[in-house]
Amino acid sequence: MRVERLELQDFRSYQKAVLDFDQEVTVFSGENAKGKTNLLEAIFLCCTARSHRTPRDRELIHFGSEGAQIVTSISRLNGKSQIKLQLSEKGRKKAWVGGAELPRIGELLGVLNGVMFSPEDLRLVKDGPDVRRRFLDISLSQISPLYFNALSNYQRALRQRNILLRQLVEKKNAGQGDLDLWDLQLSRYGAQVAFRRAEWVGRLCQAAQRIYYDISGGREHLTLLYQTKLDLNGTVEALQDELYTRIQKARSEDLRRVTTTVGPHRDELELKIGETAVRAFGSQGQQRTSALSLKLAELRLMEEETGEAPILLLDDVMSELDDERQRLLLKHTSGVQTFIACTNYRQLPHMEQREMAVFEVGMHEGVSGCTLI
């Protein structure tokens, strides 16, 4: 799949921009805080309907404007199409695909698949479990509408159950019998989430192991483990029954802590090199290589799942990698449409064999602009 054109109206630092892409690699080059990352963010929004930088849509709208618009023209094996996103300060974002408005914004997932790799993702290994859960959820949601639906329903049930727990503790108009309804919802959708995540981690592990082995020169062995208190060896139905029982048993503790303590929102993705936990004891080099391996494994599995390579967005990450890791990153992304944000395209190594277009990004009077070099 490819992005052929990007059109922006009042998005972030851009009042208006139209960019055409006809090369395998597109580089946005310029000083920091001039608008390079905004371009990658706009493209990634068309992949996931969410920003990788902020949950607040109002931050995506150009100062002084009431709304913003992003349009991407894309091509896939099944033909060409167009994605349009509208953001508003007063309402929810809306999306159109091929001119037809989507009834739910979540239906945008899977239309254009993308993998984002930013400096923040280099912390994927050493930050808290929520970062790694989000990594799994974004990948799976792009390739599986059923997973996205289960995750959305699980998160909704979790929010409602936690509200009810707080009401019970504050002795508001609520009864413990109401918890049973949300316990059933949590166990139903939580079982689907945990089961699919564990399956995905197993596949990620195989792909990431091969990539890490290559990057480390065959010296080290990476393992990924989905850590949960649930028994994942049976069926989804058995998992649902087990989760329901555990949630019921934890009710007293949940009321004491005023939060739901059992479920896949507590699970973890653990990375090990040999018997060593990378998060706690891995060197900086091992942590960065593990994060890079995870992202490249995600890229290749999404291609395997959909039959098309997703687009790759590299947000100023090349400067964070040493020369050898940069070389291997580009080696593993050959044939993938890649967008790179960097401060100086002339300092990008190993680009001689790639078709490349460069846009110089600058800012004048608070408004960003791009010039094709």
Q: Give the Cβ contact number of residue 128 at 10 Å.
A: 10
| Residue 21 per-residue DSSP state | -
What Cα–Cα distance (Å) separates residue 348 from each residue in 29, 117, 310?
10, 16, 22
| Residue 60 per-residue DSSP state | G
Q: Give the Cβ contact number of residue 31 at 10 Å.
A: 12
Strands (E), the chain: 2-11, 14-20, 25-29, 67-76, 79-88, 94-97, 100-101, 114-117, 222-227, 268-273, 276-277, 311-315, 338-342, 356-364, 367-372
Q: Beta strand pairing status for 311-315 and 114-117?
A: parallel
Which 3 state secondary structure label does DSSP give 218?
coil
Q: Give the Cβ contact number of residue 221 at 10 Å.
A: 12
**Distance in angstroms (rounded) separating the CA atoms of residues 8 and 42:** 8
What does 286-322 look like in DSSP terms, one character per residue?
Answer: HHHHHHHHHHHHHHHHHHHHHSSPPEEEEES-GGGS-
- Backbone phi and psi for residue 311, each to the nearest 5 degrees, phi listed first: -80, 155
Q: What is the chain's Cα-based Rg?
A: 22
- Output the known binding site for ATP: 30-37
- Output the known binding site: 30-37
Helix axes 129-143, 36-48, angle to 10 degrees: 60
**Distance in angstroms (rounded) separating the CA atoms of residues 131 and 123:** 9
Residues 129, 268: contact at Cβ < 8 Å?
yes
Residues 326, 349: contact at Cβ < 8 Å?
yes
